[in-house]
Structure 1
Amino acid sequence: MKLKYAWLLLVGVSLLFGSWYSTGGPRGEKVALEASTNPSVIKLQVKVPGFETKTVETELGTFVDMYAPGAGGSPEIGSPNIPVIRKMVEIPEGATVELRILKLKEGETALSHPIMPTQPPVPKVQGARVEFAYNDKVYAKNAFLPGIDARIADIVRIRGHRVALVEIYPFQYNPSTNTLRYAGEMEVSLLLKGSDMARTTSTIRRYYNRDFEKVLEKEIVNYGYFERGIKAPELPIGYLIIVADAYYNNVLPLAEWKTRKGFYTTVTKTSQIPGGATTDNIRDYIIDAYNNWPVPPTYVLLVGDVNTIPAFIGSETGSVTDLYYAAIDGDDYFPDLGVGRFSAENTDQVDVMVEKVVDYEKTDWTNGEEWIKKAVFMASSDNHNISEGTHRYVIQTFLDPHGYVSDSLWHYYGATTQQVIDALNDGRSLAIYSGHGSETSWADGPPFDQNNIRYDLNNLDMYPLVCSHACLTGDYGYSSECFGETWVRVADKGAIAFWGASTYSYWTEDDTLERAMFRALFAEDYTWLAGMMDRAKYAIYQAGFSRTLYYYQEYNLLGDPSMNLWTEMPIDLTVNYPAVIPVGPYDMAVSVYASGSPVEDALVALKTQDTLVTGYTNAAGQVTLHIETTQPESVLVTVTGYNLRPHLGAAQAIPSGAYVGYLKKEIDDSGGDGVINPGETVDMTVWLKNYGNDPANDVFAILSTNDPYISITTDSSYYGYFAPNDSSPGSNPYTFSVDLSTP
C-alpha cells in the first residue's frame, strides 16, 4: 500500500465540479427501499435513483468522489469508496437465512478518473495530518469490486428483536479499466427456513417498550410484520439504579420520584451484586434482570465513579465505556437498554445530580423558563469550516424552525470565553461544542476549562445538555475529575447532562453524530437522552465508517438516560379524576387536557404504598386504570409527558359509608403572622369533610401529639352532622402552646 501525507479533506482536497448520473431519478433523490415479509421470505425492493461524482485533486492525482444519496460508504481504508446500502431487517427466531438477488435496470459507464479511496478519519488534534491511503494492489485488479451484490454482515439482537444487518451493493467498480456498473433497481430476497413464529412473538412481547420500539420502527425496514397482533403492553417501564453503597440514601429521592412518575424502579447496592462489583458481575446482574425479572429494565443508571462502579475498557478505544452495560443481548454493540452514569466521588455530588434531575423534570426552577428556547453553539478555529458548517446546518434545519434563539460563537471570528460565560449565565438549554479538547477543557472554541465552570458560571436552575464533540472531554476514567464530570458535579450551576468522548474523536464522524442527534430530537421525536444519542450512533453505523465500534464505545452519557429534554415552555395541564375512591378494586378514569384540548400519550401513574399502576392517555386524553387498595389511604396521581408540566395530585381511598377526614386549618397565633413560632399560644380552627357516601352523625374530634415541646390546652371540638361531601369547622378551635426552647 502506498501512503503519502496530505491535508486530506481539510485543505489539500479540491472539489472541482459535480455530475449527476441518473438511473431513473432526479438529482439528489435518495435510495428507496420497500419490504414485504412472511415467515418464509422477506423481499427488499431497492431503487437507486442515481449517483453523484465530484472530481477531487490530491497529492496522488485526480480522483472521483462518488456519492449516492441515502447510501453509506465503504469502510476499507485505501480501497475504492463505493456506495453501500446498509439496512436492518428483522428475521424470525430460529430461522436460517439465504440471500437471492435479482438486478434490474443495469447500466455501465466509464469514469473520468479512479474512484476516491476511503481515507482514514481525521482526528480532532491541532495540526493533525493523515496518511493518504491508496491500496495499489486493489487498484491494479482487473475485476469488478466488491464482487458481491449483497450480504448479511451479521445477525444481532436488539431488545427482543432478531435483526439481520444487510449490506446491498448496487455498484460494482473495475479499477483497472475504470468502469462502473450499476443497478437502478434490485430485489434482494431473504429466504427463511426454520422460522419459530411462536418464540418470535413471545420474545418481542416480553421486551416490548414504547421508547425502544420507537427507535426500532425507524431503523428496521420491515418493522411491524412480526409485531402485528401482539397485545404487548407499552408499559411498565423498568428503571434499574445500581449504586455504590455509600450513596444509597442519597439516590433514594430520585428513585422515589421515578417511581411516582410511573417507572418500576429498583435500587441495587454494589454490595448486592453477586461476586462483587466488577464489570462482568454487574453486567451479569443486568442481564439476569433483563432476562428474568417480571419487568425487564428499560434504563440503567450507574451511580458512582469508576472506583466504585468500574467501566469497561473499549476494545477499539482503549478508554472507558459503559456500552456493555447496555448492549447485553448477544455479543453485538447495539444497545438493548438505555444507560447513563452519575459519576460521583462523594455524597454531596450525588445530591447535586439527583436534585438537578428531579428539579428539571418537575420544573422546580427559580429563574423563569425563557432559557428553554435558547442554545449556544461553539466552534474551534482549527478546521472551523467543518464545525461551523455542522452547527449552521443544525441551527437552520432544526432550531430556527422551532423558534430557538441560537448563539453562534465562532472562535475563528473572535468569539471569547467571556461570551460563553455570559451566554450560559443568561440561560441556555443546549450547549454544543465542536473542536479540540482535553480531559480538562475545550481548547479553542473558545477556550473553556473546569475553573470557568466552577467559578464563572451562575446559571442556577438553567442547566443545559452539554454535547462535547471533542477529544477526551468525556474521559471519566481520567486520573482526576474530567471536564464532563465537572459540568454535572457542580452545585447550582453547570449542566443537567454531558455527552462526550472518552478518547480522540474525528471531524467527519462528529459531524454525522451531531446532525443525527438533532434530527432525532426535533424531526423524529426522540426526546429522551438515551433515545436521541443511540439514534445518532445508528447514523454512524449506516454511514459505514471504519471506526463505527470505536464511536459506540467512546461516546458515553453522564446523566439520566430516561430524562426528556424540554424543548418548549412547559404546558400546564388540567387533570380530572375523582377526589375520593372506595377502598378495594376500582377503575379510576383520568382525563388530561391542555388549554381545553385533550392530551394524548401523557403518562398517568397511580401509586399507593404497595401498588403502582400506569397507562398512557388516548387521543381523547383519557385513560382508565385499575387500582386496588386494602385500607384507607392516599392514592398519588402523577401525570407527565414530553413538554408537559407534571401534575402532582392525590385521590383518597375511603371505605364505604361515612368517612370524615381533615380538609384544612386556620391559625390564629399570638404573634399575629399566621406562623407557629416557639413561645406562642395558638388557636387552630380545623375543618373536616365527609368524603364518604353516607351521612355522619355526632362527629367529635380530639387533637393529640407526642411532641414534648407542644402543650395542648383545648384538645376536642364538636362537629355534629355531616352530609356526604359536606364540610365544616368545629364548635371551637383547638388551643396549644409551643415551648420557648423548641429547637
Structure 2
Amino acid sequence: MILLAVGLTAFAASTARGQLPPRTHRTRADPRRAAPFLPAVQPSGLGSPVDCVIVTPDSLADIYQRLADYQTRVGIATVVRNLSTVRAADPRSNDVAQAVRSFLKAAHDLWGIRWAVLAGDHEAIPMRYARVLFSETTDIPSDAYYSDLDGTWDGNGNGIYGEVGDSLDMNPDIAVGRLSATTRADAQVLVAKAIHYATSPAAGALTKELILAEVLFPTDWQPGQLVSVDGAISAESLKVRAPSCTAVDRYYENYTRYPGSLALTKPAALSALGRGYGIVHHIGHGARSQLSIGNQVINLSELATLANGDSVGLWISSNCASAAADYECVGEEVVRNPSGGALAYVGATRDAWPGIDYEISTALMDRLQHGPATTLGEALEDSRATLLPLARAETQERWGYFETILLGSPALPIWSCAPGALAVTRPSSVALSAPSFSVTVLASGAPAESALVVAWKQGEEYRVAFTDAAGHATVPFHPGSTGKFSFAVTVPGNLPFLDSLTVTADAPAHFALRSFGVRDSIGGDGDRVADAGETFALAGSVKNAGTAASSGGISIAVLALTPGLSVTQGLARLPALAAGAEGVLPDSLRVRALAIPGTARAEGLRVIVTDAARSDTTDVPLAVSAAALLLAANGFDDSPAAGGNGNGILDPNETVRYRFTIADEGSGLGRGISVHLRNPGAAVTILDSTATLGDLQPGSTATTVALRVRAGSSVPAGALFQVRADDAYFHSWSFAVDAVRPGTPANLRTVIPGFDRITIGWDAVSASDVAGYRVYRAPDDGS
C-alpha cells in the first residue's frame, strides 16, 4: 500500500533544511609520541576518540569486530560494544532502546562519534515507536530516535514518544544504520557484503541502475485508463540524476508513455534483480512481505532466491512498509541473502506518501551521486532532514521522517561509478627508531590531494595523515615493537589501497610498556580497579623491543597527566635488559587517586623509560571508580521488646530501634563503611550512634543491626537526626530522617502505547524528601 495525500501538493519541497553538523577535524596527536588506538570501555574524554560505535548483542560481537577492524583500518576509528556493556552504562534506563540511546549520546559527547551501527534486529535493539496523528493515529517504528540525540523524545513525560508536544529537535546528530541480524550466519553475511563492496565490488554492476515503477493510483489501473499518480514521473526525475557513467534500465507499468522504457512484469523484474545493479529503485505499492509489480507481487521466498552474487548494491524503495523491521520484511530478506540480494536497503517501516518518498529519494541521489564525498548514512540523514521544518508539525513530512530507515552500514561510501585504482609509493619497512615515514599518492596518474593515510599497529600506534597538493604525506609513527602493521590509503571514488608494512629493529634498545594496569593489592582493596581515594602500585612490565641490550640500568618515571591523580612515588629502577627481555614494574611506584571528586572519572598517567642512550614515553588512560551510597530503606521498630508500644510510630517518651539499609549505586567498592547517627533534633536522644558495615560491593546492599533512639516529651516535626555513612577514603554521605513517611502514591494508572511496552503513572507525592520510587514487576499468575 502507499498513501495519497488529498489536498496536498505531491512533490512540494520544504523551505528550511536541517542536516548533520559538518565533520570536525580532530586535534592531532603529538607527533613525537605514540598514539595507540585505545578507547575506554565506556565513553570518556580519556583514551582515544572514536568515530563509529557498533552496538550488538553479546553473541554477535566477535563477528562485527571484523567490520570494526576494517573501518578502523581505513580511518573510521570504530569500536564494538555489546548490549551488556551498554546496559551497564545506564542501569536506570527504562528499556533497551533508552539505554542504547543514552550510550550513543555519551559516545557522541565524549568520543565524538559520527556514525552508529545498530547491529541487531528489532527484538534485540528495538526501534522506538513514535506517535503521529496525521491522517490517523499511528505509532511508527523509527531509528531516528537514535540519530537525533537531543532531549528524551518524551518531553511531556506521558510515556508516548515522538509527539508534537514533545518538542523534538529532529536535526540529526549522528548517522545511524541497522545491520538487522537474528543469527550469527546473518551477521556474517552482512559484514562480508559490506567489506567486499568497499574493497572489491563487482565493477559491472556499479555502472548500472535499475528503476521499477508502477502506476500508483488508481491502484487497479489498466492500460488505457486515466492515471492519477504515476510512479514513472518520479522515476524519470531519478533517471536524469544518474551520472553519465551509468546506464539506467527502466521498467514501467505505463511504459508506452516513456520511450526507451520496458514493460514492468514480474518475470522481467525478477530477471533484472537477479542480474544485479549498483542502485535499485522500486516506486510502487508494497507491504512488509512483498513488492507490488503491476497486478502481481514478489514475495519474501522469491526474493530469497535472487542469485546476483557479488553484484549487490543499494536498494531504495518508495513504497509502503517494505522496511518494517519490527517484522520479517522485504528489506531484511534482501540484505541477509547470502547469494546476492542487496548491500543496503532504504525504505519505510509503515505506509508511505508519494511526495515524501520522492523528496527523500531525489535528495539521497543528489548527495550520493553529485555532492561532496559522503557516506550512505550521512547522505540519508541529510536527505531525511530536508523534511524539516514541516516534519515538526502533524504532517506527512513527520510521518515520512519517522518511518524512513537504513538497513545497512552507515559509514560505507556508495560507488556512483566504477572506482579507480590508487598508485601509492611507500616504504616496505619502517625502522623501529624512525620517527616517521613518507608516502606519495597518485589517482589516475595525478597527485591526490587530501588522500587519507592510516598506519595502525594494534595496541601500539594509530596514526592518520593527509596528503598535500603534491600527493605527499609524512606519517609520524612510533610503534613499540617490531612486526607487521596495517597501512591504508583512501581517496573518494577510488578503491582503498590496503597493504601490510613491517617495523624492523635497528635501535640498540627500544622500551615498550606492556600489560599496564592497577595493582591495588598493595595499599588498596585488591580488586585491580583504582577507586577514588585509593593508593595503588602499577601492574605491567617494560620490554626491550630493540635488537641490543640497554645501555646500563633503566630508570622509570611516572607523571600524572590529569589533576585527579597524585604520584606519591614516581621514580624506580630496573636492571639492564637484554634484547627481547622484559622486567616487571617495581612495586615501589605508587599513585593515589584523589578522594575528591568522589565520582567515577577518567584520568591519565605518563610513563617514561630511560637508559643511558634513549628515552621512550607512553601515555596511558586510567579509569577511576567510586562508590555512591544511598539510604535505600529505613524504619522504626517500636515493638515491646525494643521498648516501645508497637504502633510503628515514634511517640513521645518512647525508645525504638532504628533499622536501615545502605546501597552502593556507584561503580566502585564502598570500602570500610561505617554509619553514624548524629545531629539529633530537640528532645531526641541517640542511644547507639555507630554501626559498621564493612565493604560494600557496587550494586549491593547491607543492613545494620538496629541502633536505639529515644524521644523525649515531644517528637520534633522536622528532622529527628541525620544518618551519615563514611568510607575508608574519607567520603561521607548524609541523609536526614524524620518521623513522617511520604504519602502513598495515589491514582495508579497504566497506558499501553504499543505492543512492546507499558507506561505506568501516578499522582506525585507532595513531600520534599522523596528520593524516588521503586517499581516491582511480577508474573501475572496471582503471586
TM-score tier, shorter chain, comes to: 0.5 to 0.7
Where do residues 286-305 of structure 1 align in structure 2 (5 Å cutoff)? Answer: 286-293=104-111, 296-305=112-121
**How far off is 1:447 after superposition?**
2.9
Letter aligned with residue 345 of structure 2: F
What is the alpha-carbon distance in structure 1 between the residues aligned to residue 25 and residue 495 of structure 2? 31
What is the alpha-carbon distance in structure 2 between the residues aligned to residue 8 and residue 303 of structure 1? 38
What is the alpha-carbon distance in structure 2 between the residues aligned to residue 581 and residue 320 of structure 1? 52
**How far off is 1:288 after superposition?**
1.3
Q: Is the 8 A contact 1:371 1:429 kept in 2?
A: yes
Q: Is the 8 A contact 2:274 2:308 kept in 1?
A: yes
- Does residue 393 of the first structure (1) align with residue 237 of the second (2)? yes
Q: TM-score, normalised by structure 2?
A: 0.53
1:559 matched to which residue of 2?
408
**How far off is 1:522 after superposition?**
2.2
- Does residue 576 of the first structure (1) align with residue 425 of the second (2)? yes
What is the alpha-carbon distance in structure 2 between the residues aligned to residue 236 and residue 642 of structure 1? 23
Letter aligned with residue 360 of structure 1: Y
Could you list the per-position Cα deviations for residues 538-591 of structure 1 after superposition, in whole angstroms to 9, with x for gaps in the alignment?
A: 322267782333222100000000111112222111101122222145222211
**How far off is 1:631 after superposition?**
1.5
Where do residues 190-269 of structure 1 align in structure 2 (5 Å cutoff)? Answer: 238-269=51-82
1:639 matched to which residue of 2?
489
Cα-Cα RMSD: 3.1
Q: Give the 3-state SS of the residue equivalent to 1:360 in structure 2.
A: helix
Q: Is the 8 A contact 1:605 1:615 kept in 2?
A: yes
What is the alpha-carbon distance in structure 1 between the residues aligned to residue 447 and residue 63 of structure 2? 38
- Does residue 309 of the first structure (1) align with residue 122 of the second (2)? no
Aligned residues: 443
- CA change 1:8–1:264 in 2 (3 A) is closer
What is the alpha-carbon distance in structure 2 between the residues aligned to residue 372 and residue 256 of structure 1? 25
- CA change 1:329–1:8 in 2 (3 A) is closer
Stretch moving more, 619-628 or 497-506: 619-628
Where do residues 132-211 of structure 1 align in structure 2 (5 Å cutoff)? Answer: 159=21
2:387 matched to which residue of 1?
540
- Does residue 529 of the first structure (1) align with residue 381 of the second (2)? no
Q: Is the 8 A contact 2:433 2:506 kept in 1?
A: no
**How far off is 1:523 after superposition?**
2.5
- CA change 1:313–1:654 in 2 (3 A) is same
- CA change 1:512–1:640 in 2 (3 A) is same
Letter aligned with residue 253 of structure 1: R
- CA change 1:7–1:335 in 2 (3 A) is closer
1:726 matched to which residue of 2?
none
2:570 matched to which residue of 1?
none
Q: Give the 3-state SS of the residue equivalent to 2:399 in structure 1.
A: helix
Q: Is the 8 A contact 2:265 2:293 kept in 1?
A: no
What is the alpha-carbon distance in structure 2 between the residues aligned to residue 629 and residue 522 of structure 1? 39
Could you list the per-position Cα deviations for residues 265-305 of structure 1 after superposition, in whole angstroms to 9, with x for gaps in the alignment?
A: 11111011222761111111111112223xx2111101111
Q: Give the 3-state SS of the residue equivalent to 2:215 in structure 1.
A: coil
1:343 matched to which residue of 2?
180
- CA change 1:343–1:632 in 2 (3 A) is same
2:142 matched to which residue of 1?
321
**How far off is 1:472 after superposition?**
0.7
- Does residue 381 of the first structure (1) align with residue 223 of the second (2)? no
Where do residues 454-469 of structure 1 align in structure 2 (5 Å cutoff)? Answer: 454-455=304-305, 457-469=306-318
Q: Give the 3-state SS of the residue equivalent to 2:116 in structure 1.
A: strand
What is the alpha-carbon distance in structure 1 between the residues aligned to residue 405 and residue 51 of structure 2? 21
2:155 matched to which residue of 1?
none
What is the alpha-carbon distance in structure 2 between the residues aligned to residue 641 and residue 370 of structure 1? 21
- CA change 1:527–1:448 in 2 (3 A) is farther
1:115 matched to which residue of 2?
none
Gaps of 5+ in 2: 29-47, 133-137, 152-167, 218-226, 256-262, 510-545, 548-783
Matching residue within 335, 345, 360 for 1:513: 360
Could you list the per-position Cα deviations for residues 52-82 of structure 1 after superposition, in whole angstroms to 9, with x for gaps in the alignment?
A: xxxxxxxxxxxxx999xxx956xxxxxxxxx
**How far off is 1:498 after superposition?**
0.5
**How far off is 1:347 after superposition?**
0.6
**How far off is 1:473 after superposition?**
0.6
- CA change 1:412–1:66 in 2 (3 A) is closer
- CA change 1:389–1:618 in 2 (3 A) is farther
Could you list the per-position Cα deviations for residues 74-118 of structure 1 after superposition, in whole angstroms to 9, with x for gaps in the alignment?
A: xxxxxxxxxxx5367xxxxxxxxxxxxxxxxxxxxxxxxxxxxxx
What is the alpha-carbon distance in structure 1 between the residues aligned to residue 83 and residue 106 of structure 2? 15
Identity of aligned residues (%): 24
2:337 matched to which residue of 1?
490
Q: Is the 8 A contact 2:353 2:396 kept in 1?
A: no
Q: Is the 8 A contact 1:474 1:483 kept in 2?
A: yes
- CA change 1:7–1:644 in 2 (3 A) is closer
- Does residue 86 of the first structure (1) align with residue 20 of the second (2)? no
Letter aligned with residue 345 of structure 1: T
- CA change 1:66–1:578 in 2 (3 A) is closer
Letter aligned with residue 483 of structure 1: V
Could you list the per-position Cα deviations for residues 358-413 of structure 1 after superposition, in whole angstroms to 9, with x for gaps in the alignment?
A: 111111x5xx52111101101112336542111111212x21x4221111111234
Q: Is the 8 A contact 1:333 1:549 kept in 2?
A: no
Stretch moving more, 537-546 or 268-277: 537-546
**How far off is 1:602 after superposition?**
2.5
What is the alpha-carbon distance in structure 1 between the residues aligned to residue 22 and residue 264 of structure 2? 48
What is the alpha-carbon distance in structure 2 between the residues aligned to residue 432 and residue 543 of structure 1? 25
1:35 matched to which residue of 2?
none
Matching residue within 372, 375, 400 for 2:206: 372
**How far off is 1:433 after superposition?**
0.9
**How far off is 1:526 after superposition?**
5.0
What is the alpha-carbon distance in structure 1 between the residues aligned to residue 478 and residue 27 of structure 2? 26
Q: Is the 8 A contact 2:50 2:79 kept in 1?
A: no
Letter aligned with residue 370 of structure 1: G
Where do residues 561-640 of structure 1 align in structure 2 (5 Å cutoff)? Answer: 561-584=410-433, 586-610=435-459, 611-640=461-490
1:14 matched to which residue of 2?
none
Letter aligned with residue 462 of structure 2: L
Q: Is the 8 A contact 2:205 2:312 kept in 1?
A: no
Q: Is the 8 A contact 2:285 2:292 kept in 1?
A: yes
Could you list the per-position Cα deviations for residues 605-651 of structure 1 after superposition, in whole angstroms to 9, with x for gaps in the alignment?
A: 10102222113333322222211112212221111232211211132
Q: Is the 8 A contact 2:277 2:311 kept in 1?
A: yes
Gaps of 5+ in 1: 1-5, 11-64, 74-84, 89-156, 162-203, 209-234, 660-690, 693-743
Stretch moving more, 619-628 or 545-554: 545-554
Could you list the per-position Cα deviations for residues 126-151 of structure 1 after superposition, in whole angstroms to 9, with x for gaps in the alignment?
A: xxxxxxxxxxxxxxxxxxxxxxxxxx
What is the alpha-carbon distance in structure 1 between the residues aligned to residue 73 and residue 444 of structure 2? 25
Letter aligned with residue 86 of structure 1: A
Letter aligned with residue 378 of structure 1: L
Letter aligned with residue 107 of structure 2: A
Letter aligned with residue 100 of structure 2: I
Matching residue within 245, 249, 258 for 1:407: 249
What is the alpha-carbon distance in structure 2 between the residues aligned to residue 584 and residue 329 of structure 1? 47
What is the alpha-carbon distance in structure 1 between the residues aligned to residue 383 and residue 17 of structure 2? 15
Q: Is the 8 A contact 1:429 1:465 kept in 2?
A: yes
2:673 matched to which residue of 1?
none
What is the alpha-carbon distance in structure 2 between the residues aligned to residue 627 and residue 657 of structure 1? 15
2:537 matched to which residue of 1?
none
Q: Is the 8 A contact 1:390 1:514 kept in 2?
A: no
- CA change 1:624–1:654 in 2 (3 A) is same
Q: Is the 8 A contact 2:448 2:491 kept in 1?
A: no
What is the alpha-carbon distance in structure 2 between the residues aligned to residue 299 and residue 378 of structure 1? 31
Letter aligned with residue 99 of structure 2: N
Could you list the per-position Cα deviations for residues 5-33 of structure 1 after superposition, in whole angstroms to 9, with x for gaps in the alignment?
A: x99579xxxxxxxxxxxxxxxxxxxxxxx
What is the alpha-carbon distance in structure 1 between the residues aligned to residue 49 and residue 454 of structure 2? 10
Letter aligned with residue 388 of structure 1: A
Q: Is the 8 A contact 1:566 1:642 kept in 2?
A: no
What is the alpha-carbon distance in structure 2 between the residues aligned to residue 561 and residue 87 of structure 1? 21
Could you list the per-position Cα deviations for residues 682-714 of structure 1 after superposition, in whole angstroms to 9, with x for gaps in the alignment?
A: xxxxxxxxx99xxxxxxxxxxxxxxxxxxxxxx
**How far off is 1:502 after superposition?**
0.5
- CA change 1:207–1:390 in 2 (3 A) is farther
